[in-house]
Chains A and B, each alone.
Chain A
Amino acid sequence: MEVLTDEYINKRSFDRYRIWLQKGRVVRYDKQMGALRLMDMTIVKFFFSAILTGMVGVAVLHNMGIAKPLILPTNIGANIIGGLTFGLGWSLIGYCPGTSLGALGEGRTDAFWGLLGMLAGAALFAEAFPSVRNTILTWGREGSITLPQVFGANDWVVIAIFVAGGLGLFVWLEKKGL
């Protein structure tokens, strides 16, 4: 019998994520571009189903003190400029960093060139970092804040709004046949 160490369970759970990414067909160029061109919302359904489910469970863990939050800091300038830059690149490659490896695993060889590009992009950012740090990264630095803190609301109120909005989006997408 295998010993259920933390590392073992963690590895097993990520094994599942790997397979479900592929089963949901979300690693494909046609699916990713289909979403960005507003023609096929498969990845949007996958992505927000995962987020909403995770949100509820993780909030329970946080409130019970079982898991410690790890909030990525808000740097408004870098978040917006970086996010939009990512969008430009995404429209060209048609994969995101996580799914590009899944696509390669399915035999999509164009993802290999995309992966090399990503490694080059990481190296380029490391070169640019000293100047970015003193400029863009200083614009709108808010620290590790959460939406409940911003709005002065209870976690569950924010979650209820997300869940209601998400379910509304799903119903609308199904009605539209996307």
Chain B
Amino acid sequence: MPSTRVPKIAATDITPERFFLNRRSFIAAAAGSLALGPPGASRAAALEASASKFTLDEALTPEKDATTYNNFYEFGTGKGDPAANSANFKPAPWTMKIDGLVGKPREFGLEELLAFPLEERIYRMRCVEAWSMVIPWVGFPLAALLDKVEPLGSAKYVAFETVVRPEEMPGQSGYFQPLEWPYREGLRLDEARHPLTILSVGLYGKTLPNQNGAPIRLVVPWKYGFKGIKSIVRISLTETPPPCTWNLAGPNEYGFYANVNPDVDHPRWSQATENRIGEGGFFGANRRDTLPFNGYAEEVASLYAGMDLRANF
């Protein structure tokens, strides 16, 4: 299985102590650059992250493709719209509220979120539209955040919400609204606590560009990309399955689980293969087989033991 391996850490890869000592000032700089940077391209700031055991032997998608070929309907439905229309979005200051069935509901400011120990996770990203990428995310396990708010025993699900700012997100205003806002997503609590599930604050070693879900987004690598909700402002723990935007828009097309599954087709296209973005252009061999759970079956298949994955797609 090529899904994960524990790399031997070369001496040159070990983060020098001075960077550790500088972490605090570094975080402040990163948060500051989100707030104060000029609008548009050069807002990204470098992020310090430690290597993790979650990596891949596959070539990274070129950063240009990962940051210009996006689905983020709050900025428009075209693939280039998020990069083209998100320059006026302000990812800082930012607060994310955690409430619902938790012992210690609270808000987290951006600096607190960036202060979690950050790791680089190289994950496959499989879109429900049958294309895929390999992206080096920077983030921290969602479980680390959930631990801080102490979920109650009655909590079974985690609900997420994207920010609503029609004045900064052109897809949320005007006559044509492709989806109902806020964009909402949800996970089962055990899925949310799985070590692979992260909240990402960056990619390619830098803070998240607006079009990729700045300043903080969800990444669940064994699920279709639409589960990876962007620009999160609220996380709620609930007892019942939370409503999810795409599931509401097309219940027979987008399931609550949305686990990557080559055997269960989308009604309008096959999910058996995928097109790897940024590889080969017109004539390269860029169509490849899709793997069950996007190649993470070894880690996550047990979460769904005994479940009918055709019915629970």
Interaction A to B:
no
Residues of B within 8 A of A (CB): none
Residues of A within 8 A of B (CB): none
